[in-house]
Amino acid sequence: MNNTLSCTTEVLIRFSECDALKMVWHGNYIKYFEDGREDFGKKFGLSYMDIYEKTALAVPIVHLECDFKKMVGFGETIIVKTTMIDDPASKIIFEYNIYNDKKELIAKRKFNL
């Protein structure tokens, strides 16, 4: 049985997030993934602080990878889809997919907490 939870977050690309080519600088994608993670936590009561307050456990990121598929630039709106992957191990795995307004995949990432 697949027990996955998902959340979508809209993000408007700001000028300060772009490089000289008016494309999002690659390091900012991590912020967009985190925007999705924070929305997911609010929606499902699984924020970093919720976990810490209920269990006294910290949840550091232990693995991070990102695949870039297309460029996105200033003024565009992206959709961050955050999905918690059901796993029998004692870890939390999130998968993130970023889409443009045409529903094309822009970037994807998976990280383990």
Question: Which is the catalytic residue, given 19, 50, 87, 101?
Answer: 19
> Is 101 a residue of the active site?
no
- Sign of the alpha-carbon dihedral angle for 1, 89, 106, 68: negative
Q: What amino acid is encoded at 55 in this protein?
A: T
Q: What amino acid is encoded at 19 in this protein?
A: D
Rounded-to-integer distance, Cα 82 and Cα 102, Å: 18
Residue positions annotated with a catalytic role? 19
